[in-house]
Structure 1
Amino acid sequence: MKKNLLSILCISILTLSVFSCKDKAKEAVTSEAEAVTMVEAAAIEYTVNTDASSIAWKGFKPTGEHFGTISLKNGSINLKDGKITAGNFIIDMGSIVVDDIPAEEKSNAKLVGHLSNSDFFDVEKFPTATFEITGVTENDGKTLLSGNLTLKEATNNVTFPISVINEGDTVTLESETFTIDRTKWNVQYGSKSIFDNLGDKFINDDIELKVSLKATK
């Protein structure tokens, strides 16, 4: 009986480990801020369609996860010969939406308020975040976008894989799902890497993101 119980326990732990590893997106390469790329004279500017663009987010804790979207306030991409050469985006931090809790439930508004207050993104003090492109490279058949992400007065350079489709007057940019360590941008609430004695009340440092963006001439 003990052997059977031990076998079941081992299988359960192994299954959970495999599932967790499979589900976790790769962390974006993060480094110090870099010089922003300058707009070339021959480049064509595309203006971001904010209604058709968003950033999907997901946060994790031992008891589950929350997810939703954040909108862009404005932005532009510059292309030359069909390739991205420069660009910048303003992220509207006041547009945080929670999708895993029905909008009519009080807990939805409570979570949005918690994410918006000084514990997390302090939207009243920091209503926007910015992303400024610093480079685009190719590696192992993938296009990698690098840029300075500024959030709560902290700036770090992040690099993540993207796909770009240029059709007529429209450019569609989609990132792969990636994660960032929120503590590098001064978002420290519930982080067990910052605070001791949290027990199982901690919140993972990793925030999962996926960028979906459309822009037109």
Structure 2
Amino acid sequence: MKQTISILSLAVLLAACGGTSSDSAKTEEKKEAAVAAGNAYVIDTVTTTVDWRATHKGGLAPRFGIISINDGTLTVDNGVVTAGNFVINLAALKVDTASVTEPGKKAADLENHLKSPDFFDVAKYPTAKFVITKVAPYDSTQQKSLLPGATNLISGNLTLKDSTLNITFPAQIIIAGNDVTAHAKFTIDRSAWGVHYKTEGSPENWAISKDVELGFTLKANKK
């Protein structure tokens, strides 16, 4: 029997995003990790995908690509996600060549810039991490989400570079037998984690938006 519940998602950022059609993740101080209880599910790193989208000022020149997951697990007890964690491979961040079309510009150059100290400094911080702190039911009469079929609010600590903050966002997950599939799409403010490149001073002077849109389809298998 299929059950629909919802879980988390990592998050990791990258350059910046403009106007989006996703929910803004609530950002707070770091919280205690949830206690794992129930059956463990291992993330399938081959079929799990994390997409990012970012824009320059005013939503111009959108850039997008993918980020891979090194490893991760989540715990399910009686049809409810109780805990989980994910390691995100920032050193393997990719820029889709279709998003870099201007003459003289290359996706590889943008990838290298995003991996530099201006953004994520992957030589020093090659990975990011997301750890679930709470899973709560999503109530459509109390909350309004742009994510179709949202069933839960997921909270978790996102560590990027040397900063850790707690984010909360709507998500959907389907459990069918020994398989779990989760989906989410949300926006975060990269500057909250100290990634300030081209966002210094007044907003009218920003060259790149502070917002980053992240979307993921996560697949896991019961141990």
TM-score range with shorter-chain normalisation? Answer: 0.7 to 0.9
Instruction: In structure 2, list runs of 5 or more residues that go unmatched.
Output: 1-17, 141-150
Shift of 1:53: 0.8
The size of the alignment, in residue pairs, is 189
Larger radius of gyration: 1
The RMSD of aligned alpha carbons is: 1.9
Aligned runs of 1:52-201 on 2, under 5 Å? 52-62=47-57, 63-99=60-96, 100-101=99-100, 107-141=106-140, 142-175=151-184, 177-191=185-199, 194-195=200-201, 199=205
Taking structure 1 as the reference length, the TM-score comes to 0.82
Instruction: In structure 1, list runs of 5 or more residues that go unmatched.
Output: 1-19
1:50 partner amino acid: T
Taking structure 2 as the reference length, the TM-score comes to 0.80
Identity of aligned residues (%): 38
1:127 partner amino acid: P
1:13 is aligned to none
Q: Quick check: 1:61–1:203 contact (8 Å CA) kept in 2?
A: yes
Q: Deviations over 1:156-214 (max 9, x none)?
A: 10011111111111101111x211000111111011xx335984x61100000112110
Which structure has more relative contact order (CA 8 Å, sep 6+)? It is 2
